[in-house]
């Protein structure tokens, strides 16, 4: 069997061997419910779409995803199992991707368990299910983006709390640089610069996908983003090996 899949299976089983996966899923569902119904005024707006649900996802992920990602490598370093893992005949790329994929599948599972809200909105009105599907896809891609940052930060330290804080900080930068506050602040700069900053943000790409505009460039952004951070993860591990 493919070594990457073996790593993936072990990691995924590891999440469910402890309460971690269940706690994550429950909190994720509760939080997304609070955001949607309470802060997003799902009912009050009287529109048959899931905008209030998806709009909060970047902010929900900002704290939820680093909590999953922080242990990816830091825990292996702390318990010493990284020494076992890295002396097995497996390519580093297989380990990096297998671990990432397991965490991503957990996130996508949590995300897909929000399906009752999709049923609700279909029961109450006639939403555009194509838009909803695109938004789910965009949300999953964005979760992958957050996770890939977390993977790299976790590889840098043996302390998962440090990894968590680093991940939240960097993720915040990639979310915030698309907000109006930041873009207004740098409005004096040349337009290409403002566009470049906005183009780096999850918000910009996620917003357009979640409005149903499934542009290849937005999807590509997340794919390249994830690949780059995973590549950085491998580099960090190689550097640690040499020290």
Partner 1 sequence: MIEISHLTKKFDNFTAVDDLSFKVVEGEVLGFLGPNGAGKSTTMKVITGFLAATQGAVTVDGHDIATDPIAVKALIGYLPEGAPSYPDMTTLEFLDFIAEIRGYSGEEKRRRIEKVIADVELHSVCHKTIDTLSKGFKRRVGLAQAILHDPKVLILDEPTDGLDPNQKHHVRKLIRNLAKDKIVIISTHILEEVSAVCTRAIIIAGGRILADGTPKELEGRSAYAGAISVQLTKDFDLRAALAGDEDIRGVELSDDNARRYILLPSTGKQIFGKVSENAQSGHWPVSEYHLVEGLLEDYFRSVTQDSALARRDAPQDAPQVVSATTSQPQV
Q: Which residues bind partner 1 (CB under 8 A)?
A: 1, 3, 6-7, 10, 13-14, 17-18, 79-81, 83-84, 86-91, 238, 241-243
- Rounded least distance, CB 171 to partner 1, Å: 27
Dist CA 67 CA 86 (whole Å): 24
Task: Give the Å distances, CA to CA, from 2 to 76, 91, 116, 154.
Answer: 22, 11, 35, 25
The least CB distance from residue 13 to partner 1, in Å, is 8
Q: For the CB of residue 28, give the shortest distance to partner 1 in the complex, in Å.
A: 21
Q: Answer yes or no: are the C-beta atoms of 61 and 146 closer than 8 Å.
A: yes
Name the residue nearer to partner 1 (CB basis): 6 or 194. 6
Q: How far apart are CA 170 and CA 149, in angstroms?
A: 8
Residue 79 C-beta: closest distance to partner 1, Å: 6
Using the Cα atoms of residue 140, residue 198, residue 231 and residue 25 in order, give the sign of their dihedral.
negative
Shortest reach from residue 66's CB to partner 1, in Å? 21
Angle formed at CA 203 by CA 186 and CA 128, multiple of 5 degrees: 140
Closest CA relative to residue 103, chosen from 138, 60, 146: 146
Of 3 and 211, which has the nearer Cβ to partner 1?
Answer: 3
Q: Which is nearer to partner 1, 81 or 185 (CB)?
A: 81
Distance from C-alpha of 114 to C-alpha of 204, rounded to nearest angstrom: 23
Rounded to a whole number of angstroms, the minimum distance from the CB of residue 7 to partner 1 is 8
Q: Which is nearer to partner 1, 89 or 190 (CB)?
A: 89
45 vs 91, beta carbon nearer partner 1: 91
CA end-to-end distance (rounded Å), the chain: 33
Nearer to partner 1, 38 or 238 (CB): 238
Element (H, E) at 91: none
Nearer to partner 1, 10 or 211 (CB): 10
Report the alpha-carbon angle 185-199-217, nearest 5.
Answer: 160
Q: Is 103 helix (H, G, I), strand (E, B) or coil?
A: helix
* Min separation Cβ 45 and partner 1, Å: 44
């Amino acid at each position: 069997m493919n070594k990457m899949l073996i790593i993936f299976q072990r990691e995924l089983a590891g999440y469910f061997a402890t309460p971690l996966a269940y706690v994550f899923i429950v909190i994720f569902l509760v939080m997304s419910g609070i955001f949607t119904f309470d802060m997003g005024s799902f009912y009050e707006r009287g529109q048959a779409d899931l905008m209030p649900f998806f709009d909060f996802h970047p902010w929900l992920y900002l704290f939820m995803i680093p909590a999953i990602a922080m242990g990816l490598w830091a825990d292996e370093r702390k318990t010493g199992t990284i020494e076992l893992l890295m002396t097995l005949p497996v390519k580093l790329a297989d380990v990096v991707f297998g671990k990432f994929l397991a965490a991503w599948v957990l996130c996508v599972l949590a995300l897909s368990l929000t399906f009752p809200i999709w049923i609700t909105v279909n029961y109450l009105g006639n939403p555009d299910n194509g838009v909803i599907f695109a938004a789910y896809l965009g949300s999953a891609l964005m979760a992958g983006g957050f996770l890939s940052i977390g993977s790299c930060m976790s590889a840098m330290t043996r302390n998962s709390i440090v990894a968590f804080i680093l991940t939240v900080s960097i993720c915040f930068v990639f979310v915030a640089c698309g907000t109006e506050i930041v873009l207004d602040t740098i409005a004096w700069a040349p337009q290409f610069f403002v566009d470049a900053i906005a183009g780096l943000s999850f918000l910009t790409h996620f917003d357009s996908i979640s409005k149903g505009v499934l542009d290849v460039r937005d999807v590509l952004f997340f794919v390249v983003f994830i690949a780059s951070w995973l590549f950085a993860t491998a580099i960090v591990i190689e550097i640690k090996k040499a020290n």
